[in-house]
Structure 1
Amino acid sequence: MAKRRLTPDDRFALKEWEELIASIRESSDINPSDSIAEIEARKKRLEADDEAWFKYYFEADYTCEPADFHKEATRRIMSNDRWYEVRAWSRELAKSARSVMEMSKLALTGKIRNVLLISNSADNAERLLLPVFANMSENRRIIQDYGLQKKPGRWEASEFTCLSGCSFRAIGAGQSPRGTKNKNFRPDFILIDDIDTDEECRNPDRVKIKWKWLEEALIPTMSVSGNYRILFNGNIIAKECCIKFAIEKALSIPKIGHVSIINIRMVDIRKPDPVNDYKYGVSVWPQKNSEDDIDMFLSLISISAVHKEFYNNPVAVGEIFKEMVYAKVPALGKFKFLVIYGDPAPGENKSRKSSTKSVCLLGKLNGKLYVIKCYLDRGLNSEFIDWYVKLLEYVNGRVPTYCWMENNKLQDPFFQQVFQPLVRKVRRQKKIALYIKGDEDKKTDKATRIEANLEPMNREGNLILNEAEKDNPHMKRLEEQFKLFTLRLDFPADGPDTVEGGNRRIDIKLRDAEPSTTIPRKVMRKKNKNRL
């Protein structure tokens, strides 16, 4: 009989399995000479302490001390025989790893007899169940204390029954969960992990169909009169998703329902607030995720991705500025003049809690506003002034250029005492004609002003970002701030505010440059019908 050749996917899966098994064996060393009395004493001691049990039997997964919210979540699921919980936890908070340990302890101690693990696909469900299967197969500490778990018959990663008496089955969303009895035991633990997908969440009807399957086909497999634990693991990735529906359900059944929303950083662990958690929160699990590590990783992805994956806050990108137009900027010499406009955010540091500073080089031609080049980042005041210098050097005298800086009454002391001395210092040191005028015009509400003055221009294709700067991180940040802009100002809008301020100064200058129109008195007399 010919042997089936392994595909690349098969080889990759085999390699992953071998690495997982090696890790479990390496971290589950035992003393073979332990007596039955010693084993029973150890089991009794560890079973009385969930965290100690996890740390001993799952040493490979228990790499960091848990946070308080981990321990509280475990106490709830372990101590309630009938329970419905949603853990909307950020990425990097060990949702799945903790659930594996909890299920395993409940199974080995006889508290549960029939587990269903549900995910967005059968393959993903099997992948999530694999750590349980591997530990039941190869974990020497589990085997020494609870006996060999591998049972004759079906012993596959997607479905297996341990000698402890508990069965496990991986099911993809939409598959039939019928016929899942373990002897006479109906499912008494359902773990729904990673149920939502980005693709499905773009179509609310598909989400509703999946939720209907969860409520009508899956959950009714449990016993009305028996024990049942239902646990959702995931995070809120869309305005309509199964995790949000599960949260609503859990809140509607307060006797057995609980919702735990944990962001990667929080101001108050009991009160999730994604906007303020993002701005002012601290790591909820500092034992694993340091502030520096979080800063570094989140800097790799867009703000919208950060909020969706780490703050349970799916952002509607393009709520007001749906798309930004990139195009070639005309030769600078074709502009009558250019404006460099800056928004000096408070703060003299680069920490994530400081606001972004912004300086933009702008020009207007044939009714189109061009963002020729911009700087948008957190930085020092000296760096902020240096951006003006760089933009002047970029223009290189090819066209008259006016430099402005936002300067309301509250900002004026800072403008006079901090920025003006910095400007004078730069003029002396770099021998450059840098003169920045404070924009003291009284402005209306920031959000309304940006929407009213820039959105119509953008909608008509008259707000242009320089295509030559499309890959520049500063221009990318400006585009992102435009797309994330809302009238609620949920996210920084320093870049759009700078563009609006610069556009206003350009319009004022263009009006001032227009020649005045003189109407002769004779013409006015002719138009006056009441004159004799």
Structure 2
Amino acid sequence: MDKKWERLIKQYEEHCRRIRKATTVNINEKPSEKTKRIEELAKNYIKWFEFYFPNYAKSPCSWYQKEMARLLIKFKIISLLAEIFRSGAKSVHLGMGIPLFLYFTKDLFYMLLIGQTDPKAKKLISKLQSQLQHNQRLINDYGKRYNYGDWTGGDFTTIDGVKFKALSIEQSARGESEEENRPDYILIDDVDTKKRCKNDKLSREACDTIWEDIRGTFDEGGERQRFVVANNNFHPNTVINQLKKQFKLINEKAKAAGRKSRHFIVTAKAVKDLSTFEPNWPEKTNAEYWRVKYDETPYRSFMREYQHTHVQDGVIFKPEQIQWRQRLRFDQYDGLCFYGDLSYKDAGDYKAMILVGKIGREFHVLAAYVRQTSRTNVAKWLYDYVFDNKLLNYNVKYKIEGLFAQDEFVNDFDTEGDDRGWYIPVTSDKKSKEGKYDRIEGMSGFFERGNVWFNEKYKGSTDFQNLEDQLLAFEKGSGANDDAPDALQSAIKEVNEISFINKFDTRTSSRREILDKKKNRY
């Protein structure tokens, strides 16, 4: 036997053992009490799930799990996109809890489950079979329902003729049926791969397969057509992202035609924002858990896997363009500028303060402070850096982006100066700075020509890592943070202007000198 399958079977057997152990029954329950309890549980999916699956229901259900269940139970004909963060228990409910609830309430007769690969699809459907065969509470209340077939073969059937089948997205679902019956509940679960997402053609073909081959297996005009796609939205080419765009267009058409929508999108990020870190499943985790998770996970990975943000590496700025070298003496640079991009929110967005030095054609990123913090902490860091490096002895420009509230921001630096008894001449940049994306992309030429260097002393530090992450993630419409690239672009622009003035000093001549140099006009 293949080692992969041997491992899966061992995992399955252990899973079945845990189910049997967890689903104890009350042998002293009276028949009338039992009947009443079953009827009451069948009225509420959440209570039903928590009773029959105690080993999964260790935390109360979230709002989005309740909403997915409500929609799928209420509507017999429905298309649902479950855009749920990693570890959000989407498969447990959409691939096990809800289908079994519909089955036992006689509202599901043929389930087709599509997985990323054949083993993964079969592993998903094994959860259903294991519950039917080994869940003592289900057996006690509904009787033994499993009949024949096995998840290792990709399908099984119950004693009342309901079929559960698994296929990979690479396998053809065309003509999928059991005698006169066709699927009435289709789940496409986590089918995307990073490799396929990087190929536009293959990604479009996967989406076409879902619309045509898989969705086409429904019985046209059938009473039940529940179509579900579940995944986290980590790339523009994911199936769920492509379908999300198409669902929105379909809903617009339905609205224009006066029809009720049958296409629904349920979206849940791990946290509502990166300021409070308030979780979307607070019954399971708290804000501190996600704050630590965020700190211990690379920024790009966290945003892709937990926040549905399409952070692609190196679309504009490439990893190989991030170069490191030791900084020169400050007096060797033609121009030096500290530039800050400070968000209006006190601690919600990133604050970025970057020091750039220019020598010849090169721009050296000498220091950076890139964090989600308060403006007060930015001011403290700047004063510490200036003091430690004696920067007041050099000609350094200190600027922050000049929005309507930036005079207040300047005061934050002056307040820090009041406490220390000396001041850094921070001024507000009042120039118009429209077209952020174009401005930042405009400095990519400096990176392409190898003109930008980063201070080797800070390689791997929190601030330079955040700066690097934001540069590599930068792309129009990505939703990724871009405060650091914005500050870097502005600093480069400033030192360019400084060095131009320094290189080409203004020269004046008297009127007599000008006339003496001219040829005789007579």
Which TM-score band (shorter chain)? 0.7 to 0.9
The answer for unaligned runs of 5 or more in structure 1 is 268-276, 428-433
CA distance in 1, matches of 2:416, 2:469: 30
Q: What is the match of residue 236 of structure 1? A: 233
> Matched residue of 2:145: which SS?
coil
Matched, 1:462 2:451: yes
Q: What is the match of residue 23 of structure 1? A: 18
1:261-287 Cα offsets, whole Å, 9 max, x none, are: 3132687xxxxxxxxx66688533322
Matched, 1:258 2:255: no
Q: What is the match of residue 46 of structure 1? A: 41
Matched, 1:146 2:142: yes
Q: What is the match of residue 169 of structure 1? A: 165
8 Å CA contact 2:115–2:169 kept in 1: the answer is yes
Matched, 1:377 2:371: yes
> Aligned partner of 2:495: which letter?
I
Structure 1 pair 357–77 and aligned structure 2 pair: CA distance change class (3 A): closer
In the alignment of these two chains, the number of paired residues is: 508
8 Å CA contact 1:65–1:287 kept in 2: the answer is yes
Q: What is the match of residue 270 of structure 1? A: none
Q: What is the match of residue 58 of structure 1? A: 53
Map 1:125-524 to 2 at 5 A.
Answer: 125-152=121-148, 154=150, 156=152, 158-177=154-173, 180-226=176-222, 227-248=224-245, 250-251=247-248, 252=250, 254=254, 255=260, 257-264=262-269, 282-315=278-311, 317-318=313-314, 320-322=316-318, 324-332=321-329, 335-336=332-333, 339=336, 341-343=338-340, 345=342, 351=347, 353=348, 355-381=349-375, 383-392=377-386, 395=389, 400=394, 402=396, 404-406=398-400, 408=402, 410-412=405-407, 414-416=409-411, 418-426=412-420, 435-445=423-433, 447-448=435-436, 450-451=439-440, 454-485=443-474, 490-514=479-503, 515-517=505-507, 524=514
Normalized against structure 1, the TM-score is what? 0.82
Q: 1:30 Cα shift?
A: 0.5
Structure 1 pair 245–264 and aligned structure 2 pair: CA distance change class (3 A): closer
8 Å CA contact 1:405–1:439 kept in 2: the answer is yes
CA distance in 1, matches of 2:359, 2:146: 76
1:49-78 Cα offsets, whole Å, 9 max, x none, are: 222211111122222322344323212212
Q: 1:402 Cα shift?
A: 2.9
> Aligned partner of 1:531: which letter?
R
Q: 1:529 Cα shift?
A: 7.0
CA distance in 2, matches of 1:364, 1:201: 39
Q: 1:403 Cα shift?
A: 6.0
CA distance in 1, matches of 2:310, 2:478: 15
CA distance in 1, matches of 2:184, 2:401: 65
Q: 1:98 Cα shift?
A: 1.1
1:452-479 Cα offsets, whole Å, 9 max, x none, are: 8734323332222234433112111112
Structure 1 pair 108–261 and aligned structure 2 pair: CA distance change class (3 A): closer
1:364-409 Cα offsets, whole Å, 9 max, x none, are: 2222010023221133455323423553466478984636242758
Q: 1:488 Cα shift?
A: 7.0
Structure 1 pair 461–394 and aligned structure 2 pair: CA distance change class (3 A): farther
Seq. identity, %: 21
> Matched residue of 1:142: which SS?
helix
Q: 1:180 Cα shift?
A: 4.5
What is the CA RMSD across the aligned residues, in angstroms? Answer: 3.6
Structure 1 pair 511–203 and aligned structure 2 pair: CA distance change class (3 A): closer
CA distance in 1, matches of 2:386, 2:120: 55
Normalized against structure 2, the TM-score is what? 0.84
> Aligned partner of 2:424: which letter?
I
Q: Which moved more, 1:476-485 or 1:11-20?
A: 11-20
Q: 1:481 Cα shift?
A: 2.5
8 Å CA contact 1:360–1:375 kept in 2: the answer is yes
Structure 1 pair 75–475 and aligned structure 2 pair: CA distance change class (3 A): same
Q: Which moved more, 1:135-144 or 1:448-457?
A: 448-457
